């Protein structure tokens, strides 16, 4: 095995709204099996970046190459077909369907069976759905209506749905937002385990520094639309510029971090 | 040249009423998020009340005072309606709000006939504007000139009201974020009431100002509401400027369309609307609407295919229904056939609404197109019955494919309004294109062939086709397509993120529903032996909505029960009273407020509660697990 495959390569990505440069000339790469965190204070341009990668927002300039294909101007559903799984900051699931059916719908789409009017959907890819639910520890909830689930379980279900198309890349926008601290660690541990086993690249944004420093292989730091630092957790932690803009001047990191965790 | 100028001015004058009504609708929608179907009814009430007042009080003051007083009186009625009815349904799904306000419209239609009688009423000419102005040999009524000046004045007053008064600032704030305005301590209830009153005042004023130009009659509400829907779809719901520009545009298109296609001038308006929707789906001046709010009380019971016991039950029920000819007479069989046909129709709409989440207010268009398809094939091409029955529904399929393509570009209330507008356009074509459709006289003599002519054989035929349609629709609900379609209804964001092209799924669903409705229509043509524009009309579309709602919109096949109960009750009711619209309207309002789950939905809820009680200890453990 030589150098791992480059999954995603972003070059000179820019987007402005009126006079505001939301994202300025951001470039980075992501390799298979790598977990990359995108962090930055509120308004740094994380979500704009994310939406452009996902096809929900069109950049003013720049290139996004996903598995050798230029994705600029493609719709989210087309990018999904290239092998990208996606989870949302606020979970998006199908509340009137059961947990299993949520996964089955994704499998129907992946199996190009959207216009299959005759076979039985409850039997469609039932085992595969069960396997995915098992993977995220949701197998006991398969028959539950998804609208009844607790938030942490919804997040896990979303992960299972995102894995249904056997993605090469997972895009997770604040995967642990709104979760209790213990759940956060568990969810990210699970994600990291799956990513390593299946050699999936993961790009995630996150506010919780515990999660970031524990799980990310590399970290990108955005501030006011520009990339100000990039490197391993140790490198980023020691970067004075990052400490200044992101962690706040005069604040000891540990104190702030404890405050954040207890809030 | 002078002729065209006069035509242009006539168009501008017609725009005045249209603008008043449309701006009222827009203002109400902006704040309360209710598309007030009853707006046409308030317009009509304004005209009737103004007629009475201006007849009663003489002189210029009597006339102009009567016009304004009529608008105020109707606004007061609006306040009562808002306080008694609308306050209870602000949090209901859009469909329920549209239906409740439609129920009001039905009631007003009968009430108006009760009070003022069924004949057209000709109002007084406006004092001071009785004559006409000579324009290069062409006459322009001076009242038209008054109306032309009036609408920009009203636009200016509304602008001042919204930009310069404290009330206007609150209304604009509430348009952007109701909850925030409430959190800032503004009494929302009265804000909503006052907004509704202003909107109704504008509608009633629009109606009152029409009396010197047009006869007052009891069908003017539906005519205006369809035009108003077209106006707000083009101009953008919630935008007053949009209402103004679009009212002028639509009126001018009507004025000049008459010169180009005298018979079917509405086609021109339709084409413009289609172009606007492709280029700017939210209208010329509208803003993209936030995604529809989550329907509260979504189904708790996940849908599942019938168990083998339930399947046996359904077969037994079908066999029992098939035994009707052995116990009932000819009349019972005819009623039975009609009910079976409406089961098909209601089931097709239910599929679109419950699975696709698309509440069509013009589903009768495809039912009627199927009926006309059969009539064309059987009468004009002289094809045998079997062939006509098979090919006739294709006209419904074709209509659904064309109109559905545009409709699914929109969602929520825009979707509902557009489906209604398309249905009304199809109705107008059937009504006006006399050479082909026979117009109001319809197409007669569409009789079944001998093998199906007897009441019993036709009943069995209808029953068999109805059963087939319901089974096929159910199979689709539980097919991969059905799952994916439900997914687009539940979460557009997530379905897009798993590679589903929602619009294509919805379009397909629309075509399926339209085709099945066409099958119902095809049978209906043979049942009645004739086809009339009525089978494309709004009231039939609404009947179908009520059947779906009565059965329960959150169920898999509730519409079957809804159609049977509704149709049977309706046939009985029409035989008992002349005021069936009043009763039906009141029933719809009551159902929306008190009984939103429908028959099957309520039964399912009771069953679920019963099941939960019998397994209570187990579920408590489960909920404790979740709490951890």
DSSP B277-336: HHH-TT-SS--PPPPPPPPTT--SSPP-PPPHHHHHHHHHHHHHHHTHHHHS-HHHHHHH
Which residues on neighbouring strands pair with residue A120, listed in sequence order? none
Mean per-residue pLDDT for B374-403?
Answer: 92
A115: nearest Cα among B599, B302, B512, B424: B512
pLDDT for B293 equals 46
| pLDDT per position as a tens digit, B17-37 | 899 999 999 999 888 888 888
Token pair recorded at residue A38: 């995108």
Q: What stretches in chain A show pLDDT beneath 50? A: 1, 249-263
- In sequence order, which residues have a C-beta less than 8 Å from that of residue B124 and are 6 or more positions away? B54, B55, B63, B211, B212
For residue A113, the chain B residues in CB contact (below 8 A) are 480
3 state DSSP class of A251: coil
3-state SS class at A228: strand
> What pLDDT shows up at residue A148?
84
pLDDT of residue A248: 58
Chain A residues inside the 8 Å CB shell of B481: 114-117
CB contact under 8 A, B484 and A105: yes
Return the pLDDT at B52: 94
Q: In Å, how far is A43's CA from the nearest CA of chain B? A: 22
| d(CA A258, nearest CA chain B) in Å | 24
Closest CA to B240 of B162, B174, B149, B144: B162
Candidates B300, B304, B483; nearest CB to A105 = B483
Residues in chain A: 263
- Calculate Rg over the CA atoms of chain A: 19
Is A170 at the interface with chain B, CB within 8 A?
no
DSSP 8-state code for residue A62: E
Is the pTM here over 0.90, yes or no?
A: no
A58 lies within 8 A of chain B by CB: no
The string of pLDDT tens digits covering residues B69-115 is: 999 999 999 999 999 999 888 888 877 888 899 899 989 999 999 99
Q: How far is CA A18 from CA A60, A257, B184, B553, in A?
A: 12, 35, 30, 45
Q: Is the pLDDT confidence value at B276 over 70?
A: yes
Q: A243: distance to nearest CA of chain B, Å?
A: 35
pLDDT score at B627: 39
* DSSP secondary structure of B41-65: HHHHHHHHHHHHHHHHS-HHHHHHH
Q: What is the pLDDT of residue B275?
A: 81
Report chain B residues touching chain A, CB-CB < 8 A.
294, 298-305, 475-476, 478-484, 486-487, 490-491, 493-501, 505, 508, 626
Q: Does A90 touch chain B (CB under 8 A)?
A: no
Q: Which of B155-159, B170-174, B410-414 has the lowest mean pLDDT?
A: B410-414
Residue of B nearest to A163 (CA): B498
pLDDT at res. B263: 65
Contact B70, B234 (CB under 8 A): no
- A113 with B496: Cβ contact below 8 A: no
Chain B CB within 8 Å of residue A97 CB: yes
CB contact under 8 A, B479 and A118: yes
Decide which of B404 and B171 is more confident.
Answer: B404
Which structure tokens are listed for A179?
Answer: 């979760």
The answer to whether A128 touches A166, Cβ cutoff 8 Å, is: no
Cβ contacts (< 8 Å) between B505 and chain A: which residues?
114
Q: What is the pLDDT of residues B432-452, one digit of tens each?
A: 888 888 888 889 988 888 888
Dist. CA B356–CA B510, nearest whole Å:
8
Q: What is the pLDDT of residue B264?
A: 64
Q: Which of B305, B484, B497 sits opposite A80 (nearest CB)?
A: B497
> Which chain A residue lies closest to B303 (C-alpha atoms)?
A97
Q: How far is CA A168 from CA A106, A137, A206, B247, in A?
A: 16, 21, 21, 53
3-state secondary structure of A58: coil
The answer to whether the CB atoms of A122 and B304 lie below 8 A apart is yes
pLDDT of B576 reads 85
Q: How far apart are CA B237 and CA B415, in angstroms?
A: 12
Angle among Cα A93, A96, A98 to the nearest 5 degrees reads 75
A97–B298 CB contact, under 8 Å: no
pLDDT digits 0-9 by tens, B578-595: 888 888 889 889 888 888
C-alpha B244: how far from chain center: 23
Measured between CA atoms, how close is A123 to chain B, in angstroms?
Answer: 9
Give the one of B301, B479, B498 whose C-beta lies nearest to A109's C-beta. Answer: B498
Least confident residue range of B166-180, B286-300, B579-593 = B286-300
By CA distance, what is B487's nearest residue in A? A94
- Answer whether B487 sits within 8 Å of A98, measured CB to CB: no
CB contact residues (below 8 A), chain A span 184-203, against chain B: none
**Mutation choice for B interface testing from A50, A75, A92, A137 by most B CBs within 10 A:** A92
Mean pLDDT of B497-502: 92
Least confident of B30-44, B255-269, B608-622: B608-622
Lowest-pLDDT choice from A62-66, B58-62, B94-98, B610-614: B610-614
Q: Mean pLDDT, to the nearest integer, of B183-193?
A: 87
Helix (H, G, I), strand (E, B) or coil at B231: helix
- What's chain B's average pLDDT? 87
**Residue A75 CA: distances (Å) to CA of A82, A110, A177, B52, B500:** 11, 16, 26, 59, 11
- Note the ipTM here: 0.88
pLDDT for residue A259: 45
Is the pLDDT at B127 greater than 90, yes or no?
no
């Amino acid at each position: 095995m030589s150098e791992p495959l480059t999954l995603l390569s972003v070059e000179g990505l820019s987007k402005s709204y009126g006079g505001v440069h939301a994202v300025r000339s951001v470039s980075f790469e992501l390799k298979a099996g790598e977990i990359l965190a995108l962090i930055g204070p509120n308004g740094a341009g994380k979500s704009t970046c994310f939406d452009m990668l996902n096809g929900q927002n069109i950049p003013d300039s720049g290139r996004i190459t996903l598995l050798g294909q230029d994705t600029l101007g493609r719709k989210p559903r087309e990018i999904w077909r290239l092998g990208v799984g996606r989870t949302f900051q606020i979970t998006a699931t199908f509340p009137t369907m059961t947990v299993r059916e949520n996964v089955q719908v994704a499998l129907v789409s992946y199996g190009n069976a959207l216009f299959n009017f005759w076979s039985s959907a409850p039997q469609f890819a039932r085992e595969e759905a069960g396997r995915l639910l098992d993977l995220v520890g949701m197998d006991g909830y398969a028959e539950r209506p998804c609208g009844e689930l607790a938030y942490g379980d919804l997040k896990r279900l979303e992960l299972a749905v995102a894995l249904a198309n056997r993605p090469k890349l997972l895009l997770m926008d604040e995967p642990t937002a709104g979760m209790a601290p213990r759940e956060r660690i568990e969810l990210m541990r699970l994600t990291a385990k799956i990513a390593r086993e299946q050699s999936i690249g993961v790009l995630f944004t996150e506010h919780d520094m515990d999660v970031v420093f524990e799980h990310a292989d590399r970290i990108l730091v955005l501030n006011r639309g520009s990339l100000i630092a990039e490197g391993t957790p140790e490198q980023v932690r020691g970067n004075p510029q990052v400490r200044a803009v992101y962690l706040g001047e005069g604040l000891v990191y540990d104190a702030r971090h404890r405050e954040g965790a207890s809030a | 040249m002078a002729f065209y100028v006069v035509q242009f001015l006539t168009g501008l004058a017609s725009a005045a009423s249209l603008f008043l009504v449309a701006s009222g609708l827009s203002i109400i929608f902006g704040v309360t998020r209710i598309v007030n179907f009853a707006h046409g009814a308030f317009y009509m009430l304004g005209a009737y009340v103004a007629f009475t007042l201006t007849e009663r009080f003489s002189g210029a003051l009597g006339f102009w005072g009567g016009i304004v007083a009529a608008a105020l009186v109707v606004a007061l009625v609006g306040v009562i309606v808002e306080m008694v009815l609308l306050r209870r349904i602000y949090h209901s799904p859009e469909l329920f709000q549209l239906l409740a306000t439609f129920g009001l419209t039905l009631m007003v239609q009968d009430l108006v006939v009760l009070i003022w009688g069924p004949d057209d009423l000709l109002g007084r000419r406006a004092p001071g504007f009785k004559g006409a102005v000579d324009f290069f040999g062409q006459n322009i009524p001076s009242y038209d000139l008054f109306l032309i000046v009036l609408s920009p004045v009203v636009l200016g007053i509304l602008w001042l009201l919204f930009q310069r008064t404290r009330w206007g600032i609150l209304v604009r704030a509430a348009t952007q974020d109701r909850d925030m305005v409430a959190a800032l301590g503004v009494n929302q209830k009265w804000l909503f009431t006052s907004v509704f009153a202003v909107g109704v005042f504008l509608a009633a004023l629009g109606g009152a100002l029409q009396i010197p130009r047009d006869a007052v009659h009891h069908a003017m509400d539906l005519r205006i509401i369809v035009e108003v829907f077209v106006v707000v779809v083009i101009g953008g719901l919630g935008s007053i400027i949009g209402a103004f520009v679009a009212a002028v545009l639509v009126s001018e298109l009507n004025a000049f369309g008459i010169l180009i296609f005298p018979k079917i001038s509405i086609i021109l308006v339709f084409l413009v609307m289609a172009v606007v929707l492709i280029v700017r789906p939210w209208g010329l001046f509208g803003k993209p609407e936030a995604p529809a709010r989550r329907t509260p009380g979504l189904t708790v019971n996940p849908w599942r295919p019938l168990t083998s016991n339930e399947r046996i039950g359904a077969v037994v029920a079908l066999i029992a229904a098939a035994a009707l000819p052995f116990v009932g007479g000819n009349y019972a069989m005819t009623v039975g056939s009609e009910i079976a046909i409406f089961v098909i129709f209601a089931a097709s709409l239910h599929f679109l609404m419950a699975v696709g989440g698309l509440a069509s207010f013009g589903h009768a268009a495809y039912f009627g197109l199927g009926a006309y398809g059969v009539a064309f094939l059987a009468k004009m091409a002289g094809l045998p019955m079997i062939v006509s029955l098979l090919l006739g529904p294709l006209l419904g399929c074709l209509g659904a494919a064309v109109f559905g393509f545009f409709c699914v570009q929109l969602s929520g209330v825009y979707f509902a309004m557009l489906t209604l507008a398309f249905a009304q356009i199809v109705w107008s074509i059937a009504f006006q294109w006399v050479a082909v459709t026979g117009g109001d006289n319809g197409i007669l003599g569409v009789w079944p062939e001998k093998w199906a002519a007897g009441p019993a054989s036709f009943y069995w035929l209808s029953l068999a086709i109805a059963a087939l349609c319901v089974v096929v629709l159910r199979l689709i609900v539980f097919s991969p397509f059905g799952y994916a379609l439900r997914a687009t209804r539940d979460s557009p964001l997530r379905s897009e993120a798993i590679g589903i092209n929602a619009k294509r799924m919805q379009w397909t669903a629309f075509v399926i529903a339209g085709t099945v409705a066409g099958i119902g229509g095809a049978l209906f043509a043979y049942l009645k032996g004739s086809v009339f524009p009525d089978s494309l009309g709004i009231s039939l579309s609404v009947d179908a909505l009520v059947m779906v709602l009565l059965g329960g919109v959150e169920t898999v096949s509730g519409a079957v029960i809804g159609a049977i109960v509704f149709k049977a009750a309706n046939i009985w009711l029409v035989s008992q009273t002349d005021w069936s619209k009043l009763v039906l309207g009141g029933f719809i309002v009551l159902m929306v407020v008190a009984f939103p789950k429908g028959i099957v939905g309520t039964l399912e809820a009771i069953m679920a509660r019963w099941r939960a009680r019998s397994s209570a200890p187990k579920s408590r453990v489960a909920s404790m697990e979740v709490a951890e």
